[in-house]
Chain A
Amino acid sequence: MAKQKQLSRRQFIKTSTIATGALAAPMIFTTRKALAAPTEINMLGWYGTAEPDMVADFEAANNVKFVPKYYAGGDNMLAALAQNPPGTFDLIHTDAEYARLLIESDLVDELDPSNYPMDDLMHEDFMNFPGHWNDGKLYSLITRYGHLGVSYNKNAVTPEQAMSYNVFWDENLKGKVGHFDWHLPNLGEISLLNGNTDPGPFDISEDAWKAVQEKTLSLKPQIGGFFDFGGTFAGLKNSEMLAMVGIGDWVTGILERDGAPVSSVVPEEGGIQWTESYSIVSTSTKKDIVKKYLEYTMSPEGQVKSAQMLGYPGFAVTNSGRKLLNEVDPAEAKRSGQVDGNSNDPVELIKQGRIHYRDIPSRQSLEDWNDFWSEYKNA
């Protein structure tokens, strides 16, 4: 009996070795393929920014390999950066609000603006973007941006209706309006609807803040749910939600490219801009190659890749980038309005003063806004 037991145990080991071997075989192949020992660039970024469609060309040309760590939410990013051993990450891709925090915490390197085509940027604001500069020094390099407004299902809402945030209160959309679950863009849009455009939707008095709260609460009966990226995609695609607050083309653009009847506009009351940038981590040991990548992102090719990014669309920030995009992918340029003289040209919208840069509230604390958001979700 003991012998039999042993025998079958041996057999078990044999079988499992074969099974593991079968599993491991492709791994060995793939590792061998990668054995040309490219330099690894460890990047913290939003999903999609280090996928092959973005970095494959650069990887091939410079014998590097991007190892991304994708985060969801700037606070996760800060936690990951702060708690991992210094030198873990080389490159950070993040939003202006968080770039500011990185700079304040002294986590990223100063950049030399003369290395980048700053005068080719499409708007003067981009050349001196708040949050990217500190004391007249550049720390974070703008790479793409996008606008937030009204996102809607074309079968349920007309483009005319979508030109005002009031569409969210439409009787026909009851239970079909969704929130992107982050307080800043949502409350910012309501603030715009309340007319807080000067100096901006995030710089409002106590009274105006009260009014924003009241207005937001009146929207609650219309709301079908609160979603993150995945839920937002699926909800819009399944027609589970017919209009969304707090998002823009960065979500609907993906669905639109896929043929879904959804779209986003910046309504009359104005829109909010998200702005993404690259920073080099101070403790990185591969700064030279990372700097080279930063230059690449500002080249026309890099800008076109960013505009076409499969993960989510963003606008080109340089004139030459837009020009090349119009040459190689006129359809995407047209879809996203990145054509000179178009009525929904994002740069034109900024010039008209209809765009406000997303920011943290300046007269209330971020906690107050978040508290209200939790309260609202519970209401």
Chain B
Amino acid sequence: MRVDKLIRWAIRIYLLLVFAFVFTPIVTSIIFSFNSDRFPTIPLGQFTLKWYQTVINDPGFWDAARTSVVVSICSAVLATFIGFCTAYTDFRYRFRFKGAYIALALLPPTVPLIILALGMLAWLSKFHASGQVWSIIIAHTVLCAPFAMGIIRLRLQQMDPDLESAAWNLGASEWRAMHSVVLPFASPAIVSAFCLTMAVSFDEFTVAWFVSGLNKTIPVAILEVLQGTVDPQINAIGSFVFMTSISLVIIAQLIFMRRSNRSTN
């Protein structure tokens, strides 16, 4: 028992360390976003809000924020949907060239981003579709779908294939079986896939820079500041986005929790 406790504590401490590592750069960036010096060095200068003021007063930032939100949500929905379909096909059916099919589906993340970006740009401009918000959405969907597929496929792997057949045998239509057996089983993975793809899309800048034309997303705006002139605006943008997303996540969490509490009641 004592050993058990020890292990439990060791693991807790380790988890704390892990989170410390993951959050160190974020915390640092938040601290420096309030620092008056233009370049982040130690010792700190004075406390200031001017970087936030600059960012908030910049209409370009709000445009970028709006574009980012729209793009990440749309691409996450599409990517998760496509990911689910691909994963389900892989799980359910066996057909010739399935290997090739899966390989193709997994292709996008293996292509270096800058090349993908150029390819995308060329492809989209063929259809006169470059430089639009939805060109970023298309590009990000292609990029993110494999991630969604990976996660969902993982979950389906754990499902007993006979479960679905059982539903059919009991007279459920394919759609019905899908709706009441497969989807509920895969739902945690679908939610995770949605969050992850949204996050990936929200943070992607190489492809976005090329295909976005004049519609900036937030990471593209950050990249521009970083490559042109480094100033704590980027920390302010980063922190601002961080605060917003963390509050949204907490709100979502609380709702989820209340819901699960209710259903257990």
Residues of chain A at the chain B interface (Cβ within 8 Å): 1, 4-5, 8, 11-12, 15-16, 19, 23-24, 26-27, 30-31, 33-34, 42, 46-48, 67, 69-70, 72, 76, 79-80, 83-85, 88, 228-230, 233-234, 237-238, 254-255, 258, 260, 310-312
- Cα–Cα, bound, A4→B258 (Å): 11
Residues of A within 8 A of B262 (CB): 4, 8
Contact flags (1/0) for B64-103 with A, using CB distance below 8 Å? 0110010000000000000000000000000000000000
B228 touching A48 by the CB < 8 A rule?
A: yes
Q: Quote the shortest CB–CB distance from B35 to chain A (angstroms).
A: 13
A27 touching B62 by the CB < 8 A rule?
A: yes
Chain B's interface size range is 35 or more
Contact flags (1/0) for B114-128 with A, using CB distance below 8 Å? 000010011001001
B258 touching A311 by the CB < 8 A rule?
A: no
B228 touching A311 by the CB < 8 A rule?
A: yes
Q: Quote the shortest CB–CB distance from A151 to chain B (angstroms).
A: 16
Given the interface contacts A79-B121, A234-B39, does A85 sit within 8 Å of B131 by beta carbon? yes
- Cα–Cα, bound, A79→B130 (Å): 12
B59 touching A33 by the CB < 8 A rule?
A: yes
A258 touching B39 by the CB < 8 A rule?
A: yes
Which of B37, B230, B248 is the one whose CB lies under 8 Å from A233?
Answer: B230
Residues of B within 8 A of A24 (CB): 66
Which of A12, A16, A26, A83 is the one whose CB lies under 8 Å from B121?
Answer: A83
* Consensus secondary structure, chain B interface: helix
A85 touching B230 by the CB < 8 A rule?
A: no
Residues of B within 8 A of A230 (CB): 226-227, 230
Which of A4, A46, A88, A234 is the one whose CB lies under 8 Å from B214?
Answer: A88
Residues of chain B at the chain A interface (Cβ within 8 Å): 37-41, 56, 59, 62-63, 65-66, 69, 118, 121-122, 125, 128, 130-131, 209-210, 213-214, 223-230, 244, 247-248, 251-252, 255, 258-259, 262-263
Which of B39, B65, B125, B229 is the one whose CB lies under 8 Å from A310?
Answer: B229
A229 touching B255 by the CB < 8 A rule?
A: no
Q: Which chain B residue lies CB-closest to A228?
A: B227
Residues of A within 8 A of B210 (CB): 76, 79-80, 83
- Cα–Cα, bound, A33→B65 (Å): 17
Residues of A within 8 A of B263 (CB): 1, 4-5
Residues of A within 8 A of B37 (CB): 258
B228 touching A8 by the CB < 8 A rule?
A: no
A84 touching B125 by the CB < 8 A rule?
A: yes
A67 touching B214 by the CB < 8 A rule?
A: yes
B244 touching A23 by the CB < 8 A rule?
A: yes
Residues of A within 8 A of B121 (CB): 79, 83
B229 touching A48 by the CB < 8 A rule?
A: yes
Given the interface contacts A4-B263, A233-B39, A234-B39, does A42 sit within 8 Å of B227 by beta carbon? no
- Cα–Cα, bound, A1→B69 (Å): 33
Residues of A within 8 A of B125 (CB): 83-85
Q: A34-B59, A228-B227 are in contact. List 16 more A-B contacts (CB 8 A).
A: A4-B259, A4-B262, A4-B263, A5-B259, A19-B251, A24-B66, A27-B66, A42-B214, A72-B223, A79-B121, A83-B122, A84-B125, A85-B128, A229-B227, A233-B39, A260-B39
Q: Quote the shortest CB–CB distance from B215 to chain A (angstroms).
A: 10
B130 touching A85 by the CB < 8 A rule?
A: yes
B59 touching A70 by the CB < 8 A rule?
A: no
Q: Quote the shortest CB–CB distance from A266 to chain B (angstroms).
A: 23
Could you list 22 A-B pairs, sorted by A, with CB under 8 Å? A4-B263, A5-B263, A12-B252, A12-B255, A15-B255, A19-B247, A19-B248, A47-B228, A69-B213, A72-B223, A76-B210, A79-B121, A79-B210, A83-B125, A83-B130, A85-B131, A88-B131, A88-B214, A229-B227, A230-B230, A255-B39, A311-B229
Which of B59, B62, B229, B259 is the one whose CB lies under 8 Å from A47?
Answer: B229
List the 6 closest pairs (A to B, CB-CB), nearest first: A47-B228, A70-B224, A72-B227, A237-B39, A30-B59, A83-B121
Given the interface contacts A8-B262, A70-B224, A88-B213, does A238 sit within 8 Å of B41 by beta carbon? yes
Q: Quote the shortest CB–CB distance from B49 to chain A (angstroms).
A: 16
